[in-house]
Amino acid sequence: MTKKIALPRATRPAAALAAFAMACFAGFAGFAGSAQAASVLDEWDKIALPAKPQAVPVAVDKTSTALLVLDMQPQTCNEQRRPRCLPTKAAVAALVKKARAAGAPVVYSLIRNSSPADIFPELGYKEGDPYVAASVDKFLGTDLAAILAAKGIKTVIVTGTAAHGAVLHTATGAAQRGLSIIVPADAISAEDAFTEAAVLWCLTTGPASKDKVTVSSAGKIGF
């Protein structure tokens, strides 16, 4: 069953989702508007909420697919800063277990000034597993592209937090490098559902990623 996403506050109009997502990719012309409008702000309350993407079943090739577990550590995933992240640990852990059983590589990322010891134990980091540490784009200034190329990776499953940080930018970076991307909606998180929904919309409509991104869920991904 596809997970329903509820917008977080009644004070935030449904139209804001589309407006936020439009801001992610400058110049995207997905909505028709008045030629006389000064900016999207003039049309803010008229923009229709886009249709939600569907989580579809995916069977991946274990020999060319890597699972990315991004910034799943207490500094970024906690009750105070990002409480929606905590329930996603189970979905990420389930994917790690599947990937390990299939022999598919699992690559972790960290925020700066942290270590693999900070990764939640239930997410299965093992000594010797590849990892990178960077800001939101885990390709930038790291060996991630080389790690994936050395393993013959053509598809990445992107999980973790924050949805509008590491997930959005790393998935887009993967698409720009010619990789296919699977995003399990129940294995990413932000501060609120609004932001998570906007990220999925950006990835499934953005010029760099729209033809390379598949939205799924942890239970629908098979190795």
Choice between 218 and 37, residue whose per-residue pLDDT is larger: 218
- Domain borders along the chain are 15-46, 58-222
CA–CA separation, 206 and 125 (whole Å): 32
- Residue 223 CA to residue 217 CA, distance in Å, equals 13
> Is the pLDDT confidence value at 44 over 50?
yes
Round to whole Å and give the CA distance between 43 and 210.
24
Q: What are phi and psi of 145, to 5 degrees?
A: -60, -40
For the cut 80, the answer to whether the pLDDT of residue 118 exceeds it is yes
What are the pLDDT digits (tens) for 2-42?
444 443 444 444 444 444 444 554 443 444 444 555 899 99
Q: What is the pLDDT of residues 67-83, one digit of tens each?
A: 999 999 999 999 999 99
Q: What is the CATH number of domain 58-222?
A: 3.40.50.850
Which amino acid type is present at position 210?
A: K
Sequence letter at residue 209: S
Rounded CA separation 32/14 (Å)? 17
CA angle 55/58/62 to nearest 5° reads 145
